[in-house]
């Protein structure tokens, strides 16, 4: 099975991505958490960004993190190879380390003025749904892949672990950005382990203290461990405002706006958001 996944990585990832996206769009349409009317233009832009990102990745970084993992396996470089770690241990630790890396990268993208310029395209979405999970500027995707490739090289992560991590990361991003209504008990149970839609939605609030919280994408552990966890938005999930006050809709709904925004406009080192009581 691992060899089959490695040999058919592009098809495996595409099938998983398309399947999860279709499922979450269907579920959030049937069981919406917040009102979602008149969103066709915004969703089309988000989907277009996702397609552009995929094309850029294949053209600009043909090896991707999987290629680095294959090279590490063939040539025996990386921490796990040097230590002679058992495969199962290397597999599990790679998944945990890469998820922690994504958490740290997300924090960095909020704290660094340069990285924030490209990450703010994601946050400018004034409504959060499954398509927001693929709304990233191509430059952010390239930078993110470069960071992951370096981490995979240092770790010597197993090939299948890297492929599975990418699949899980994409699935988690689509799931936790979805506008899906989960029952209170279900949400409370799930967020003990993973990031739920209600948990991540707080991160898209216009309030600065809420905006600088809940950075995790897959495991909720990191936000609790590093004290960036916030249980709920102060205004409640239905009434809360989402997006960036500097970039009001409908401008961010446009594809051209989304592609050029990092090169124009505000240059604040941190997100410009409404300061609330207890803001960071």
Q: How much is the pTM?
A: 0.92
pLDDT mean across residues, the chain: 91
- 21 domain-assigned: yes
Identify whether 268 is part of a domain: no
Domain contains 127: yes
In degrees and rounded to multiples of 5, residue 244 shows phi and psi of -120, 130
Residues paired with residue 247 on neighbouring β-strands, in sequence order: 244
User: What would the mean pLDDT of 3-26 be, rounded to a whole number?
Assistant: 84
Answer whether residue 251 is part of any domain: yes
Q: Which of 179, 123, 142 is nearest to 60 (CA)?
A: 142
Split at pLDDT 50, 70, 90, the class of 280 is very low
- For residue 277, pLDDT over 50 is answered with no
Q: Sorting pLDDT into bands at 50, 70 and 90, what band is 275?
A: low
Find tokens 């897959």 and name the residue. Answer: 218
Q: Flag whether 279 is in a domain.
A: no
The count of domains in the chain is: 1
Q: Is residue 159 part of a domain?
A: yes
Query: pLDDT tens digit string along 61-81?
Result: 666 888 899 899 899 999 999
**Domain span at residue 51?**
2-263
State mean pLDDT over 240-266.
Answer: 92
Percent of the chain with pLDDT over 70: 90
Mean pLDDT of 145-163: 95
For 206, phi then psi, to 5°, come to -75, -15
Segment 88-135, tens digit of pLDDT: 999 999 999 999 999 999 999 999 999 999 999 999 999 999 999 999
Asked, for residue 79, whether it belongs to a domain, the answer is yes
Q: Is the pLDDT of residue 279 over 70?
A: no
Flag whether 258 is in a domain: yes
């Amino acid at each position: 099975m691992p060899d089959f996944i490695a040999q058919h990585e592009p098809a495996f990832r595409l099938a998983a991505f398309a399947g999860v996206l279709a499922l979450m769009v269907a579920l959030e349409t049937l069981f919406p958490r917040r009102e979602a009317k008149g969103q066709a233009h915004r969703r089309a832009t988000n989907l277009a960004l996702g397609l552009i990102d995929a094309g850029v990745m294949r053209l600009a970084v043909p090896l991707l993190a999987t290629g680095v993992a294959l090279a590490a396996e063939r040539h025996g470089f990386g921490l796990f190879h040097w230590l002679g770690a058992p495969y199962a241990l290397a597999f599990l630790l790679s998944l945990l380390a890469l998820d922690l890396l994504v958490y740290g990268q997300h924090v960095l993208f909020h704290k660094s003025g340069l990285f924030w310029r490209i990450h703010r395209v994601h946050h400018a979405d004034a409504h959060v749904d499954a398509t927001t999970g693929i709304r990233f500027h191509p430059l952010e995707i390239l930078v993110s892949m470069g960071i992951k490739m370096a981490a995979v090289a240092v770790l010597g992560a197993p090939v299948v672990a890297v492929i599975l991590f990418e699949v899980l990361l994409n699935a988690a991003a689509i799931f936790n950005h979805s506008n899906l209504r989960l029952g209170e008990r279900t949400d409370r149970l799930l967020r003990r382990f993973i990031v739920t839609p209600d948990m991540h939605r707080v991160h898209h609030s216009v309030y600065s203290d809420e905006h600088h919280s809940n950075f995790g994408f897959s495991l909720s552990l990191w936000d609790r461990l590093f004290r960036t966890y916030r249980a709920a938005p102060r205004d409640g999930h239905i009434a809360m405002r989402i997006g960036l006050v500097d970039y009001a809709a409908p401008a961010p709904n446009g594809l051209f706006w989304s592609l050029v925004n990092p090169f124009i406009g505000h240059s604040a080192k941190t997100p410009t958001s409404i300061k609330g009581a207890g803001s960071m």
